[in-house]
Every structure is written in structure tokens, then in C-alpha cells.
Structure 1
Amino acid sequence: MNASFMKNFEKEVTRDKIDSCLIQHNEKLVFEYYRNKKMKERQHKIYSVTKSILSALVGIAIDQGYISHVNTPVSRYFPDSRKGLAGDEITIKHLLTMTSGLHWPGNAAMIPSKNWVKFVLSQPVEYKPGEERVYSCGSSHLISAVLQKTTGADTVTFAKKHLFTPLGITQYKWNSDSHGVAIGGFGLNMKTEDLLKIGILYMNKGKWKSKQIVSNEWVEESTAASFQMDKTFSYGYHWWLLTRDDQGSSIPKTFFALGKNGQYMFVVPSYKLTAVFTSDITDDSSRPIDYFKKYLLPYACANS
């Protein structure tokens, strides 16, 4: 990557409320920034980036036979809620793509409830499943509950055994609700370097070193556009997709995870580029996307 270009990128990042940023390109760490020494060891709140990691766990559960396929009806796991779930229409795929049709009153309504899973399942069905997309942490929490029911282990234990330990991720915290269900929508705290490992895993089609952690088929399927948001963004299975640059031109497949206050993980497989940001941006948390489009995509294109 061009040194002067990265210098301009560094100037913008260090002036912003970015806590950390790591960039790997062509299998080399080409940029490393921590706002201070504590940020390197901190287990950052990654908020909704949790959703994309949860998506990886669903893929692993399907690969290992715990879940048959994404079109499995959710009511199979919550039979007492069959009527409220509109029969067998709502599937795991609907939850992953945020198209369940269930009303979502927001985290502020779910968090005080005594049982988060029952709260989400008790919501009325507003749309035919698959037709409308409504971003919902409740859908993610149901997925975590499904993982717990199907694997016979809580989501955190399953993640530790099948994802975190194989990647050498040992320092993290995944908060749970009062019933012991790992918070699927926003519960994870991770170190920046470990977040980068998740991105690298997906850049390498689910393979870490010589071991296939997540199937290539799941990586491709889950990061494909399932729902078109607008001309610039699409949504997959708890992953976002960037389809155009600032000039409106199409770009190579680029998918990313995002969380509140500027937490991001970007992956561009054809450019062998992975970038992660942890931030404390409360005014416009989309700025890391702007940095990514303005600096990192052109860099990687010129040097790939």
C-alpha cells in the first residue's frame, strides 16, 4: 500500500474517536493503530458485530448436523409459540435476513422483560415472512436460543469449542439474558486482534491455516445479498454488503459487520483485504465506512 495514502488515512483515523484499527492486506498486517496502550488489551463492546459471529455459528451447526438447514421452521424449536409464529412460515433464514415479519418494538422494550425469548415470540406477525425487512436484535436472540436448543450447549460454549478456540481466541466475554441465553444481537466483547481473525477466516472462505472451521458453502451463502437495501447496501445472513463506491461504481464483493458507535469488520476476498475498527463514535457511526471507501478500497485495488 502506498505510504502517503496510508498517512492521510492515519491522520483521519487518529483525529476521530477511533479506539483501534487493524488492516491486513495480502496476508500482511499493513496498519495497526490503538488510541492508547489499554485499547490493545481491551475486550471491546462490539455490539451488533455479534450478529455476524452468530451467523458463523449457525453455519457450523448446520455443517455438523445440529440444524438441518436454514429453511427449518422456527416453530419446531418453540412449539408452544406455533400459533403466534404464523404456523411454520417463519424459518431460521427469515431470522438471519431480518425478514421474519414479527413486530419489533426495540431493545428498550425487550431488555426489561423477564424472558427475552418469550417476549420476541409473543410479538404479532406484521408482515408475511420474507417480504419486509425489519432490523431486529430479537431475531438474533431467537437464533442464539435455537443454537442452545439444537446443540445441547449454550451458545458461548459452542462458540468456544468450534470457533474461538480453533482461532486462538481466548479472551472474550459474551453476556447472557436472565435465562442463560447468550445475547445474540449485541452481547459480545472481544479484543481487536481477535475480531480481525474472524474477518480473515471469512476472507479465506472459512479456512484457518489448514483447518476448515466454517464451510466455504456457508461463507458464500451467508455473505450473498438476500435483501437489497438500496443502491449501495444489501443484507445477507446477519452480514451487510457494500455494492458501490463513492462514485457509484460497482466494486468487488465486499461484506462487513457493523455495530453501534462505529464497530466494523470489512472483508474483500478478491483483494485479500480485511479491516476492523473499534470506536466510540456517537454522532455519525458510519464514518469508518467512509474511510474504508475513500482509502482502503482504492489502496487494495491498486496493490492487488
Structure 2
Amino acid sequence: MDMSMAERVEAVLRDGRAPGFHGLVVMRGGEPVLERYGAGQDRRLGEALGHVTFDRDTLHDVRSVSKSVVALLYGVALGDGLVPEPGAGLLAQFPHYPDLAADPGRAHLTIEHALTMTLGLDWNEDAPYTSPANSEIAMELAPDRYRYVLERPVAEEAGKRWRYCGGATALLGGIIARGVGRPLEEYAAEALFGPLGITSFAWTKGGDGVVSAAAGLRLRPVDLAAVGQLVLDGGRGIVPADWLGETLRSRVPIDGSFTYGYHWYVVTGERRRVLGIGNGGQLLAVVPGEELVVAVTGGNYDGDANGSWALLAAVLGD
């Protein structure tokens, strides 16, 4: 039976194939075509929120989709001449660590290595995001998050292999904040969210008062979809179009057609799509060939995200 998008989505929800479902917004051709919300246990990064009934106005952690937003902010700041080009030296952006800059094993690192997560440094986020055994959590607990990242042991030559690293995003956030002369969240409000009409957001901070660039952003699902629509629309003069072209270009292989650009996942092939992906079932999918944007939020933190992928598949008719 040929089912409509809404019917396919309802079937996934009805059959219990999306446990932990919190929200879904679908836009096609710039217009909202489907919006659904659920209820369940939720968390803000590092804090239990209890049982939440979600609606259009409920903020939700987007977790590592934050990384993709940071990449957009880097492009805005670059267009304004406030941050260096990706080819610039990474350690040069942190001149207060002369000992690290003098290390020949790190001296060749560039900002692009951070953008593509190919730093070659020892980093492991396999442990739950509640454990200091997870490198990102250890970074958040460290007295100096930037030094913590930059002094990780060199594991391999930079630029050779993708290794998931929230520390790379922390460095980018630090470079942006330093370049624009204000905290990352303030710049985001002025340079990205404001022009998009997004007035309600939050960005969780670490103990040092610095936002968790890699995972702390909280948005309404409709506003997460608005970010995706901006990408689909080529930046609309808010994010430079040439930067988006560079950001969404497949640069580093991960697994088959699943590749990485500048802090965005790029699925190559006939049905090309770009993705922001976050722990717990957070998804932002942009399918340029079909004028489609899909935003999904969920609560399966440190668990599988199969339900969110099932919803995306239902929207796409896969």
C-alpha cells in the first residue's frame, strides 16, 4: 500500500518503533508539512528534567547537532573577517600555550583539522556522556578545556582519519569567541538566531562559565528545522554561500557513502543528504534534491537512536 508521509510516521509511532520520541518537524519547499510531539523523560546536558510533555514551544537539547551550528557560526565570522581561514595554524590561535606550539608533533595542526575532526589526537567518546572516562566529559571537568584538548597525546598524523572529537568543536567555539570579542552564545544570538527569528534558545555552560560548544545547545524543534531550512536555502546571506559549499562538501570518509564535511555529515549518492546528529536521537536532515528538511528530537541519551532514524526513513519513504 502506498502510504502518505503522515501515515508512515503515524505507523512508526503507533507500532512503538520510536521509543523516546519527543518531537518531529518536517518542512518541504520552505513550508511546514508535518509536526508531531510526544512525552517522556528528558535531560538537559548534565541534569535530569523528569517527565516532560513536549509541544512547539519546549526547548530541547540538540546535543551534537550543536557542532553543525558552530560550523555555520564559523562561516559567518569568517565572512566578517573575524576568524582565520581554515588553513591557518591551530596552535597560533592559542598563543598562551607556547609549550604546545613548540611541539613538532602538533605544530602542523590547522583549523581545518578541527573542522573535519582529523586532529590525530587521542580522543575517545565511547563511554557514556555521564562518565569522565568520556573525553568530552573529561574536557568539561578540566580547569582549562582548550589546553585539555590541545595537549592530548598525538595518536596519528593529522588529516588522515576521521575521529569523533567534541574537543575539536570546543576549539572552534573558542576561536570564534576570541575573534568576535564576545561569548559564543551572544554571537550566535546576534549573527545567526536573530536573523532567523529565533528568540528562544539556551546553551548549557560548563563549570568555567563557557558554553559547551560541542553539545550544549537547546532549541525548539521548529527552530532546529529553521536552521536546516537556512542550509537548504544556501545561507540566505546570513551564512555565506561559499562557506556552505565548502562546509557541505564530502571531505573525509567514515563508512561507505557516509562521509564528513566541516562538522556536518554528508551522505553521498543519488539521494544526497546532509545531517547534523546528536546523542539521544537528535537529527537534522537536509535533502536538497527534494527541498526537504527533517528535525527530530528524542530522549534515548546514551542509548540507540533507531527510533529517530525510523522516523526519518518514514518521512523519506525509505
Query: TM-score of the superposition, structure 2-length normalised?
Result: 0.85
Deviation string 1:114-159 (CA, Å, 9 cap, x unpaired) is 2211211221221111012210111111111111111111111111
- The yes-or-no answer on 1:184 pairing with 2:213 is yes
Match of 2:265 among 219, 223, 240: 240
Cα deviations by residue, 1:36-60 (Å, 9 ceiling, x for unpaired): 5633222101110100000000111
Shift of 1:85: 7.3
Hey, what does 2:132 align to over in structure 1?
Answer: none
Answer yes or no: is 1:280 the counterpart of 2:299.
Answer: yes
> Which letter maps to 1:134?
R
Q: 1:48 matched to which residue of 2? A: 64
Measured at CA, do residues 67 and 77 of structure 1 come closer, stay the same or move farther in structure 2, by a change above 3 Å?
same
Structure 1 residues 152-202: Cα deviation after superposition (integer angstroms, max 9, x where no partner):
111111111100111111111112233333211101111111111100000
Identity of aligned residues (%): 27
2:44 aligns with none
Task: Choose which of 35, 60, 78 in structure 1 pairs with 2:76.
Answer: 60
Shift of 1:281: 2.5
Give me the whole-angstrom Cα distance separating, in 2, the residues matched to 1:124 and 1:199: 36
Q: Kindly provide the amino acid, as one letter, of the partner of residue 176 in structure 1.
A: K
**Aligned residue number for residue 171 of structure 1:** 200
Tell me, yes or no, if the aligned pair for 1:234 and 1:241 is still in contact at 8 Å.
yes
C-alpha separation in 1, matches of 2:79 and 2:200: 26
- The question of whether the paired residues in 2 share the 8 Å contact of 1:84 and 1:124 is answered with no
Query: What does residue 18 of structure 1 align with?
Result: 21
Contact 1:144 1:181 in 2 (8 A): no
Distance 1:288 1:232, change over 3 A: farther
Give the SS at the match of 2:82. coil
Equivalent residues in 2 for 1:95-114 (5 A)? 95-105=114-124, 106-114=135-143
Provide Cα deviations, 1:73-119, integer angstroms capped at 9, x if missing partner.
11111122313473531111110111011111422322322221121
Which residue, 85, 90, 115 being the options, matches 1:74?
A: 90
For residues 105 and 178 of structure 2, the distance between their equivalents in structure 1, rounded to whole angstroms, comes to 21
Q: 1:89 to 1:197 in 2, by over 3 A?
A: same
CA contact (8 A) 1:84 1:123 kept: no
Alpha-carbon distance between aligned partners in 2 of 1:8 and 1:253, rounded to the nearest angstrom: 21
Q: Provide the C-alpha distance between the structure 2 equivalents of 1:85 and 1:270, rounded to a whole number of angstroms.
A: 45
CA distance in 1 between counterparts of 2:104 and 2:111 reads 12
Report the AA paired with residue 292 of structure 2: L
1:264 aligns with 2:264: no
Q: 2:167 aligns with which of 138, 142, 145?
A: 138
In 2, the alpha carbon distance for the partners of 1:111 and 1:273 equals 35
Alignment-derived partner of residue 8 in structure 2:
8
In the other structure, the counterpart of 2:315 is 296
Q: Which runs of 5+ in 2 are unaligned?
A: 40-52, 125-134
| Aligned residues of 2:23 and 2:54 also touching (Cα < 8 A) | no
| Separation in 2, partners of 1:41, 1:47 | 18
Q: Could you tell me which residue of structure 2 aligns to residue 121 of structure 1? A: 150
CA distance in 2, matches of 1:27, 1:260: 27
CA distance in structure 1 between the partners assigned to 2:25 and 2:304 by the alignment: 20
2:49 counterpart residue number: none
Alpha-carbon distance between aligned partners in 2 of 1:130 and 1:268, rounded to the nearest angstrom: 28
Give, as a single letter, the amino acid of the residue that structure 1 aligns with 2:258. F
Using structure 1 for the length normalisation, give the TM-score: 0.88
Q: Which residue of 1 aligns with 2:130?
A: none
Picking from 195, 216, 220, the partner of 2:241 is 216
| Aligned partners of 1:116 and 1:177 also within 8 Å | no
Q: How many residues were matched structurally?
A: 287
Shift of 1:3: 5.8
Aligned counterpart, 2:183: 154
| 3-state SS in 2 of match to 1:94 | helix
Q: How large is the RMSD of aligned CA atoms in angstroms?
A: 1.9
